[in-house]
Amino acid sequence: MTLAVQLLERNGRVGLTASVKSRYSRTMRERQLTNGCQHCDALQGNLPVQEEAFERVVTAGGPDGLDILLVAEWPALARQAVVHDNGGGVIAV
């Protein structure tokens, strides 16, 4: 989430980061940088977000069902610092 915020801000898409902030997650039992509802500010958990993305991909027959929020340069050294875990998420190294 931090990486997404940095890329969006660096490329003038600050409005998309307004609902991203530190919130307490009862599931994770800690504060995390999370995406929130634009209307009520409630934390939007990973599962509902992943389910919606998966549904859009399946319905469209591929990634074309997803909205493109930004196309940005991302240096190779910065990309190499992101490692994919078995849960489908990413963690920064």
d(CA 61, CA 67): 14
pLDDT digits (tens, 9 = 90+) for 8-59: 999 999 998 988 998 888 888 888 888 888 888 888 877 777 888 889 889 9
User: Which phi and psi (to 5°) does residue 8 adopt?
Assistant: -65, -45
Q: Is residue 8 part of a domain?
A: yes
In this predicted model, what pLDDT tens digit does every residue of 45-78 receive, in sequence order?
Answer: 777 778 888 898 899 988 888 888 888 888 777 7
Residue 46 resides in a domain:
yes
pLDDT at 90: 54
Mean pLDDT of the chain: 82
- Which domain range does residue 12 map to? 2-81
- Confirm whether 92 is domain-assigned: no
Distance CA 44, CA 48 (A): 7
Number of domain units in the chain? 1
In a domain, 70, yes or no: yes
Tell me which residue has tokens 């190779």.
Answer: 76
